[in-house]
Chain A
Amino acid sequence: MQLRSRHLLGLEDATAEEITLILDTAETFREIIERPIKKVPTLRGITVLNLFYEPSTRTRISFELAEKRLSADTVSFTPGTSSVKKGESLRDTVQNIEAMKIDMVVVRHSSSGVPYFLTQCTQSNIINAGDGAHEHPTQALLDMFTIRRKYKKLKDLRVVLVGDIKHSRVVRSNIWGLKTMGASVAVCGPSTLLPFEVEKFGVDIFTDLDKAIDGADVVNIMRIQLERQQAGLFPSQREYTNLFGMTRERLQLLNKNYTIMHPGPINRGVEITNEVADGDSSVILEQVTNGQAVRMAVLFLLSGKKEEE
């Protein structure tokens, strides 16, 4: 079994077998990062470009560490200090860097479709580290990995995604991945942050958090950005917190062995209270650790693939 594509652009088309392969492979790497010497020679000779057009802390560092721990050579790109400032196009930027002989590109960009665009103008293997509000496949994979580690399965679990559903790439990848793996998925947020015809994703839709999380196993909370309030999508953070904030009281509604997740960065006191974020059932930091293992697995599985199959 191997991945069908030499790129990871999203999870919409990923099969259950492919997701399982990535998660199983990640288990091996999860073990490696617990060792005193967290380095293997797997990607020796491979050069990876980290092309982050958008600010990112955990995803960028997670990928960089994953690459280094696999012994890849890495180079990071920051548009703020590059020729992008001089008006260089994305295609020219990438092709110039590729001319320095790189093998893989990890890309984060504010525009949906940029990872696909790169597959059309470079020879490198492309890994999507988040494109616009489209997909963030490695985040969803690490979320699934974290859930699967705890419950030993994904099938038939009830997962609720709460918050800004409209603008979240994490939500989209989670929906595709979780549904493919047989989980039951619900989304919950203000109706202004539920995108048009979201029901066509095949998920349950709620605007009442208490109803949404009633009997849920996993609650994955998405960040709310202040700019959404300024754009008139909800009246105030205070009202948002009252209606959609994850509080200790609301935890009573969940199934007994519940899990609280958040892809970060967290707005403490807005979408989640301190005691929930730091509570025993919160796996927020574990998600971060697992992210590295999942990214190592993805880099490993794609690194050997040169030709489209």
Chain B
Amino acid sequence: MKTPIYDMLIKGGLVIDPALGFGQEAAIFVKDGKIAAIVKESDVSPKDMASIPVENVVDASGKLVVPGLIDMHVHLREPGREDEETIITGCQAAAAGGFTSICCMPNTNPTIDHQETVKFVLSRAEQADAHVYVVGAITKMLKGEELAEIGDLVNAGAVAISDDGNYVQNPEIMRRALEYARMFGIPIISHAEDYFLCANGVMNESYQSTRLGMKGRPGVAEEIAVLRDIKLCGFTGGRLHIAHITTAGAVKAVRQAKADGIDITAEACPHHFTLTDEEIGKEFNTNLRVNPPIRTQKDVEAVIEGLIDGTIDCIASDHAPHADEEKDVEFDQAPSGMIGLETTLGLVKIALIDKGYLSWADAVRKMTYNPARILGLPAGTLEVGTAADITVIDPEKKWTVKKENFRSKSKNSPFIGWKLSGKIDITILGGRIVYRNK
């Protein structure tokens, strides 16, 4: 038998792969950018070791080795706002956050509502530090009026469709989208928030908005939208994914829909399970202006409960870069969104894992296997033969979020100054080290 010559070895770490149901110390061999073998540490022969260049032997002792993380909700801003983020810088940020696959949302300029834009994004991403998957638009220009050429989008590579940033207000259009997308087996990602109930709102409608005299976006706007989409999903037999779920009522609705056999999934963002709207009045920090808004403690608890019981399948960042000058304005004039790729894992660690809500395996499942399954991505596992997308995590490493350390082109994070734990040590994309913590 011929001795295999490997390109890379990650040894000494605790390997966690929810897709394989694997969770033990093991060594991973990489060959030609793919996972070549996972073996017991004791089975690593000196001969195999010797065949690998020293710089490609990763000592992961005391660390976690997991499939490359997947963020199914990212805004890359290219084309149109390359001053805020480009596909290249967004992927650098992804790598620093441990993500080897990200899905970019279509609200660029021009909108990703046409196959040429999908192709443009994919071509730009060829040399990037992460795999980029495209979410195409549901409707042309995200206007909610006419279906985009969904078949063309899928043929060009789109893995889902969404009018993210906008709710498809017209139920007839949403019905047809769910029916039509069914042909292609892709989910519709719904930004569920009734437009009329939220018009001009800048924060959650609550005692805090009352106190600050700000126009509120009520939680019921999300709940009504989620309930409508669930009904339409059940009626059409389509596939529905609820983006950035935030309210107790919406979580309850998704839980019930799942119990009723509706083909529905959901994601939650770190800022929605780590922050409450009380934060806004402290400094009027415009980085806390997000859409949907940061809500109340009761909602935070419901989102965490949804993550624990599996109602919420995925954790996604909703990475939304904005230039400094756009955020350095009056609160109600700032655009919505915060960056998140580089802080997601640390926030998951301190808010969910450290508090005993999720195990590492649960968290990794929600950031690898589950999004891959929902979107049909060839990622999210360390199975032999798949791309060697691997993330090495230093699970107890304490670190402070610093503006100057962000790789994202924009720095709009309310978490600057936060002390987190759980740091990405190394990110490997197709057998290539794309990030190494120094």
Contacts and interface: CB of A to CB of B under 8 A. Distances in A.
The yes or no verdict on A and B being binding partners is yes
Interface of A: 12, 89-91, 109, 111-114, 116-117, 120, 131-135, 166-167, 169, 172, 195-198, 200-201
B332 A132 contact: yes
B326 to A, nearest CB: 10
B175 to A, nearest CB: 28
Given A89-B325, A113-B212, 10 more contacts: A89-B328, A89-B329, A90-B329, A90-B330, A112-B284, A117-B331, A134-B214, A196-B205, A197-B207, A201-B210
A200 B278 CA distance: 14
A169 B329 CA distance: 21
B27 to A, nearest CB: 52
13 contacts: A89-B328, A89-B329, A90-B329, A91-B329, A111-B332, A111-B333, A112-B212, A120-B283, A132-B332, A134-B213, A196-B209, A196-B216, A197-B207
B209 A111 contact: no
B438 interface: no
A12 B210 CA distance: 13
Interface in B204-239: 205-207, 209-214, 216, 218
Contacts of B212: 112-113, 132, 134
B408 to A, nearest CB: 22
A132 B216 CA distance: 13
A127 B262 CA distance: 56
Contact of B330 (A109, A166, A197): A109
Contacts of A172: 211, 213
B280 to A, nearest CB: 8
B330 A113 contact: yes
A201 B216 CA distance: 17
Nearest to A199: B207
Nearest to A136: B213
Contacts of B333: 111
Contact of A197 (B206, B283, B325, B329): B206
A90 B329 CA distance: 7
B295 to A, nearest CB: 12
Contacts of A91: 328-329
A186 B391 CA distance: 58
A188 to B, nearest CB: 16
B206 A133 contact: no
A164 to B, nearest CB: 12
Interface string B236-247: 000000000000
A190 B351 CA distance: 41
Nearest to A166: B210
A112 B214 contact: yes
A198 B210 contact: yes
A169 B213 contact: yes
A196 B215 CA distance: 11
B206 A112 contact: no
B331 A112 contact: yes
A196 B328 contact: no
B210 A197 contact: yes
A302 to B, nearest CB: 21
B329 A133 contact: no
Contacts of B210: 166, 195-198, 200-201
A114 B206 CA distance: 20
A226 B14 CA distance: 66
Given A113-B284, A196-B205, A197-B206, A135 B329 contact: no
Contacts of A89: 325, 328-329
Given A89-B325, A109-B330, A195 B209 contact: yes
B331 A111 contact: yes
A117 B212 CA distance: 14
Interface string B307-340: 0000000000000000001001111110000000
A111 B216 contact: no
Contacts of B213: 112, 131-135, 167, 169, 172
Nearest to A195: B210
Nearest to B332: A111
B213 to A, nearest CB: 3
Contacts of B214: 112, 132-134
A7 to B, nearest CB: 14
Interface string B251-285: 00000000000000000000000000000000110
Interface in B332-386: 332-333
A198 B212 CA distance: 12
A50 B205 CA distance: 32
A197 B204 CA distance: 12
B334 to A, nearest CB: 10
A116 B211 contact: no
B418 to A, nearest CB: 19
A113 B205 contact: no
B194 to A, nearest CB: 15
Contacts of B283: 116, 120
Given A112-B214, A133-B214, A196-B216, A117 B330 contact: yes
Contacts of A200: 207, 210
Contact of A117 (B205, B216, B284): B284
- Identify the 7 closest CB pairs spanning chains A and B, nearest first: A133-B213, A113-B284, A111-B330, A134-B213, A195-B210, A197-B207, A200-B207
B332 A112 contact: yes
Contacts of A198: 210
Contacts of B205: 196
A12 B213 CA distance: 13
A166 to B, nearest CB: 8
Contacts of A197: 206-207, 210
Contacts of A169: 213
Nearest to B328: A91
B223 to A, nearest CB: 15
A133 B328 CA distance: 21
B422 to A, nearest CB: 31
Contacts of A111: 330-333
Nearest to B213: A133
Nearest to A91: B328
A174 to B, nearest CB: 13
Contacts of A112: 212-214, 284, 331-332
A131 B325 CA distance: 21
A178 B387 CA distance: 66
Contacts of B329: 89-91
Q: Which of B213, B218, B284, B331 has the most CB of A within 10 A?
A: B213
A133 B44 CA distance: 68
Interface in B23-65: none
A166 B215 CA distance: 9
A195 B211 CA distance: 9
Q: Which of A91, A120, A132, A200 has the most CB of B within 10 A?
A: A132
A219 B259 CA distance: 54
